[in-house]
């Protein structure tokens, strides 16, 4: 664990670091209750809802993680002109995130509604629309304005259309000398060419490179992907196996730090938020990875899309 002096230094460096988070935001709604019977209408459980919770999801959860760790987070995204959008805006203000949430009159804010009983998810209902072309052009313009005042850019791609202009974002960030970290989605990584780092999980990487037979095969596939996309680094998150950093030289591996895994949802958001903030504070790749891994270990011990505070991080380190 870092000494008190090192903790204070890290804390003050985090406080001065500014991260711009761009991508798909969503509102995670939780309906929590109990199940004691099966419906007479169909063979399904009847959930008696006792309370509801709202949490920020997607890119909004990344920004929330940056702020929880003590960094300055600016969130740029598109929401609908609706109650869910108002709720998300209010949540971000509560978490100390500066928001530039552009309202699109023609869409509904993305909502993931989970019905949970006795810590078991019964069903998830998704409500989503792709943003309109005109509003996305507005995002492009705001990105250029916000870029100058941030240290690192995180692009959080959930495949909902918010990162339609990802190629331009990477190009402008490179021109401005700002590192770009991307949480990727889908099977086309060509659009991420020129990014500083990608942070796929095993399933996401497999979708793009195909399966690997062993560790040597994985290293070769990671090298080829880095070369093809002109990436400085690739951080593979491997669930219970921890994470591996691929860059020039030998891969750098860190085992998982979770004491007891309760819920992995949102852990990828914590990893990229931790990496981005640490890099914005001047840490190198392996140091940033150690920090991100520790933060993720804290988060998977909590239910739902959770965050890690600076104090929890210091304790974990």
Give tens-digit pLDDT for 206-223. 999 989 999 889 999 999
pLDDT at 256: 78
% of the chain surpassing 70 pLDDT: 94
Q: Mean per-residue pLDDT for 4-28?
A: 91
Q: Quickly state the pLDDT bin for 40 (edges 50, 70, 90).
A: very high
- The answer to whether residue 279 scores a pLDDT higher than 60 is yes
28, 248, 269, 284: the catalytic one is: 269
pLDDT at 1 over 60: no
According to the model, what pLDDT value does residue 229 have? 96
Predicted confidence at residue 42, as pLDDT, reads: 95
Cα–chain center distance at 273 = 6
H helix or E strand, kind and range, residue 220: helix 215-229
Rounded to whole angstroms, how far apart are CA atoms 145 and 139? Answer: 10
Give dist(CA 156, CA 139) in Å, integer: 14
How much is the average pLDDT of 105-132? 94
Predicted local distance difference test score (pLDDT) of residue 2: 58
The whole-number pLDDT of residue 115 equals: 96
Q: What is the pLDDT of residue 30?
A: 93
Choose the weakest-confidence range: 2-6, 46-50, 122-126: 2-6
Model confidence pLDDT, tens digit, residues 51-108 = 999 999 999 999 999 999 999 999 999 999 999 999 999 999 999 999 999 999 999 9
Beta-sheet strand order (sheet of 45-58): 45-58, 25-38, 111-117, 120-127
Note the pLDDT of residue 77.
Answer: 97
Distance CA 110, CA 180 (A): 25
User: What is the pLDDT, as a whole number, of residue 311?
Assistant: 86
In the residue annotation, 269 being an active-site residue is answered as yes
Q: How many CB atoms lie within 10 A of CB 212?
A: 16
The predicted structure's pLDDT at residue 242 = 84
13: Cα separation from own chain's centroid: 21
Which pLDDT score is estimated for 265?
Answer: 67
For residues 240 and 137, give the distance between their C-alpha atoms in angstroms, rounded to a whole number: 40
34 pLDDT tier (thresholds 50, 70, 90): very high
Q: What is the pLDDT of residue 46?
A: 95
What is the structure's pLDDT at 7? 80
Residue 300: which pLDDT band, with cuts at 50, 70 and 90? confident
Q: Is 126 exposed, middle or buried (0-12, 13-18, 19+ CB in 10 A)?
A: exposed
The mean pLDDT of 173-191, rounded to a whole number, is 95
- Nearest alpha-carbon partner for 26 in 71, 92, 74: 92
- Best CA proximity match to 292, nearest among 236, 221, 212: 236
Query: Per the structure block, which two tokens stand in for 206?
Result: 């497999």
In this prediction, residue 305 has a pLDDT band, given cuts at 50, 70 and 90, of: low
How far apart are alpha carbons 203 and 199 in whole angstroms? 12
Q: Comparing 216 with 260, which gets the higher pLDDT?
A: 216
Residue 262: what pLDDT? 61
| pLDDT (tens digit per residue) in 235-254 | 999 887 889 999 998 999 98
* Torsion angles phi and psi, residue 201, rounded to 5: -90, 180
Residue that the structure tokens 């309760």 belong to: 262
């Amino acid at each position: 664990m870092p000494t008190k002096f090192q903790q204070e230094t890290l804390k003050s460096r985090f406080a001065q670091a500014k991260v711009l988070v761009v991508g798909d935001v969503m509102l995670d709604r939780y309906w929590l209750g109990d199940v004691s019977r099966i419906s007479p209408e169909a063979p399904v459980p009847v959930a008696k809802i006792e309370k509801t919770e709202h949490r920020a999801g997607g890119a909004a959860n990344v920004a929330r993680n940056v702020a929880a760790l003590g960094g300055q987070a600016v969130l740029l995204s598109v929401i609908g002109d609706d109650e869910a959008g108002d709720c998300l805006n209010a949540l971000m203000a509560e978490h100390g995130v500066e928001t530039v949430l552009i309202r699109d009159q023609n869409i509904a804010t993305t909502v993931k509604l989970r019905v949970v009983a006795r810590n078991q998810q019964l069903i998830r209902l998704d409500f989503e629309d792709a943003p309109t072309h005109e509003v996305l052009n507005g995002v492009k313009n705001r990105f250029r304005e916000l870029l100058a005042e941030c240290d690192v850019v995180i692009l959080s791609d959930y495949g909902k259309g918010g990162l339609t202009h990802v190629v331009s974002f990477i190009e402008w960030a490179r021109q401005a000398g700002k590192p770009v970290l991307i949480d990727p989605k889908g099977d086309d990584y060509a659009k991420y060419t020129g990014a500083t780092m990608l942070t796929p999980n095993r399933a996401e990487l497999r979708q793009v490179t195909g399966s690997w037979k062993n560790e040597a095969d994985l290293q070769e596939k990671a090298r080829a992907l880095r070369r093809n996309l002109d990436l400085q680094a690739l951080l593979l998150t491997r669930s219970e196996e921890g994470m591996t950093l691929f860059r020039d030289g030998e891969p750098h591996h860190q085992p998982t730090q979770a004491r007891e895994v309760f819920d992995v949802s949102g852990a990828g958001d914590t990893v990229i938020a931790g990496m981005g903030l640490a890099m914005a504070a001047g840490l190198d790749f392996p140091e940033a990875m150690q920090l991100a891994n520790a933060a993720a270990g804290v988060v998977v011990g909590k239910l739902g899309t959770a965050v890690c505070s600076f104090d929890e991080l210091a304790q974990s380190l």
